[in-house]
Amino acid sequence: MNPLDLLTFARGDALNWALMLFAAGVVLRLFEIFGLGRKPDLAQPRSDSPGSGWRTMFTRSLPPQGLLKREPVTYIGGYVFHLGLLANIFFFAPHIEFFRNMFGIGWPGLPSAMVDASAVAAIAALGVLLAHRLTNPVKRMLSGFGDYLAWAVTLLPLLTGYLAYHHLLFEYTLMLSLHLFSVELLLVLLPFTKLFHTFSVFISRWYNGDIFGRKGVAS
């Protein structure tokens, strides 16, 4: 298969199948989560509990007092990576056009140089976080195959996108195809790996904040 046919397949059938599997996987996982149900809490809630779930969704995004100083690599690296990834997905002009074609809506993008810099920062942050995981005895012991798989499939779209944008390593058409395949791999695996925290993180934070708020416990 020549590079042009490969790109056509990556932008056509492969993308359609990846999106369908992604959507089906997300719906299935969300159904599993909400299908668990929640036992009714018969205790009278504290008067200050309403809104604690929503509040916790945002306060948990900030490092607890003292932990930023104790774990600067984890928190700073995590913020740099997530912000860089967010900028690349949602504020790169070609990606915005993709969303416009898919959903009929678009928004202003960031300058290409800024998105490019954010990609480099995100890739570097992933490298630092991996090195920290491998050199920290506790994190290394707690890490399993799923952690490294999630790291790899997150890195690949950033790396291949950067290489394609700068016309590096392979011919542009082939590199763009590899970038699309890496995105499709991420889409297929996301619902069934630890990457599903993309959706579940705010659900769990709301749940914990709400249930602890009813008990009068700070969260």
Domain boundaries along the sequence of the chain: 3-8+71-195
CA distance 147 to 70: 22
Nearest 5 degrees, angle CA 209-CA 210-CA 212?
65
196 near 146, Cβ under 8 Å? Answer: no
- Contacts of residue 188, Cβ cutoff 8 Å, sequence gap at least 6: 18, 21, 22, 25
State whether the Cα torsion 70-149-24-91 is positive or negative.
positive
The pLDDT, as a whole number, for residue 122 is 97
The pLDDT, as a whole number, for residue 123 is 98
Nearest 5 degrees, angle CA 144-CA 150-CA 154?
155
User: Can you give the pTM of this predicted structure?
Assistant: 0.87
The pLDDT, as a whole number, for residue 211 is 73
CA distance 219 to 209: 6
Residuewise pLDDT in 10s, the chain (219 residues): 788 899 999 999 999 999 999 999 999 999 988 887 767 766 666 655 666 766 777 777 777 777 788 888 989 999 999 999 999 999 999 999 999 998 899 999 999 999 999 999 999 999 999 999 999 999 999 999 999 999 999 999 999 999 999 999 899 999 999 999 999 999 999 999 999 999 888 888 777 777 776 666 665
CA distance 115 to 86: 10
The pLDDT, as a whole number, for residue 46 is 65
The pLDDT, as a whole number, for residue 172 is 94
Per-residue 3-state assignment (H helix, E strand, C coil) for 146-210: HHHHHHHHHHHHHHHHHHHHCCCCCCHHHHHHHHHHHHHHHHHHHHHCHHHHHHHHHHHHHHHHH
